[in-house]
Amino acid sequence: MDTLYEILASIRRNKLRTILTGFSVAWGIFMLIVLLGSGNGLMNGVQSNFRDQASNVIRIFPGWTSMSHDGLEKGRRITIKAEDLEMLAQQFPEHIELVTPQLRRRGTQVARGNEYSVLQVEGVYPEYMDLQGVRVLAGKGRNINYQDINEYRKVILIHPKTATVLFPNEDPIGDYVKLNNVLFQVAGIYDADGSSEERAAYIPYSTAQIFFNKGNKIDAATLAIKNLPTLEANEKFVIDVRQYLSTILRFHPEDRNAVWMWNRFDDYLQTQFIFSAISIAIWIIGLFSLISGIVGVGNIMLISVKERTKEFGIRKAIGASPWNILRVVIMESIIITAIFGYIGMFLGIGVTELLNYVLESTQGPKTGNDPTMFLNPTIDMSIAIAATATLVIAGTLAGFFPARKAVTIKPVEALTAK
């Protein structure tokens, strides 16, 4: 208790020094937590926009040739059939986990009574919905299933905005809409990540084949891929797929307009690389803030010990051991850095939590057509505690080393020191 009273008296005598030391500690912790929280908020926000979509996806769309090839003129429409997709899956079994075709028709009128919407109607398999992050809302019906496919059922999934237009203040599940004067029963209400999805409606693939009169021709295909962990492997696979398709569909392998391919997994890996770089940059900036706090503490403690050299000489002259003197300095360093370190940690966590609360209050629930750029800007509590403990240890060492040097001086030298 005597030591504690002595430390408190020293702090009261040197208020400015104590405040400066504490500010260095608190500011370093505060900035580290806020920077890391902001970085996490950015990464969480962007990743949340794709949280329900499978990342290992490649989409293929037939186009028009822009280069003449094999005696065929450019400007030819490329036609992909279902059997071409089966051959593609057989050609790359080690990398293609699943292939699902889609049919689509833009500008289709979906009506009920006097109300109508003009939508893109897509014929899909159940797997497509999972790969694209299209999900039926809880308590709002069901998804398309294989019984619908096998029995050519006329069922449809619509977006909540479409349901609001066609069924104001009514439950659409089980009711009917007309697609070009053909009745379809509403099986479910879906939501999806991506603003374009709200203008779409989904029906079973087999039903779409008849309704669109497409036969075996497809409008798009989605591939679920596997065993391609790097950007280089993905790029090579896309080249190989394009090369194979150019052979069976007779277009130039360099003609990118003939078949359009979008590699979501490639985008995902690039995004992860960018996030890693951002995370490293934030950590570097945060650690420099922490180091600046450590340097500030070290400088102030060095000045403090130098100012108290005569005091240490008097203590030694009246019989105090070096350890007794060191203990006072070390405990003072621990108390100051611990108190202000936890103040900085509390303020940093408070700011990130307040920001998170404000964002949640202003944004409201996230819907499929509302992309989020910032979400949950908080950090792991263990990181905050570890950073604070680091500064406490650094502050202790900053006081220990100059104090150890000071207490080795003979009392007479200490008393005459300037």
The pLDDT of residue 374 is: 64
**Side-chain-facing half-sphere of 277: CA atoms under 13 Å:** 6
pTM above 0.75, yes or no: no
Q: Contact, 184 vs 152, CB < 8 A?
A: no
Q: Contact, 324 vs 315, CB < 8 A?
A: yes
Segments in the chain below pLDDT 70: 3, 46-54, 192-198, 360, 363-374, 411-418
Q: Contact, 304 vs 17, CB < 8 A?
A: yes
**Is the torsion defined by CA of 63, 68, 72, 73 positive or negative?**
positive
Between the alpha carbon of residue 204 and those of residues 106, 212, 356, the distances in Å are 16, 12, 41
The pLDDT of residue 150 is: 96
Cα-based torsion angle of the residue sequence 235, 241, 243, 249 in order, rounded to the nearest 10 degrees: -150
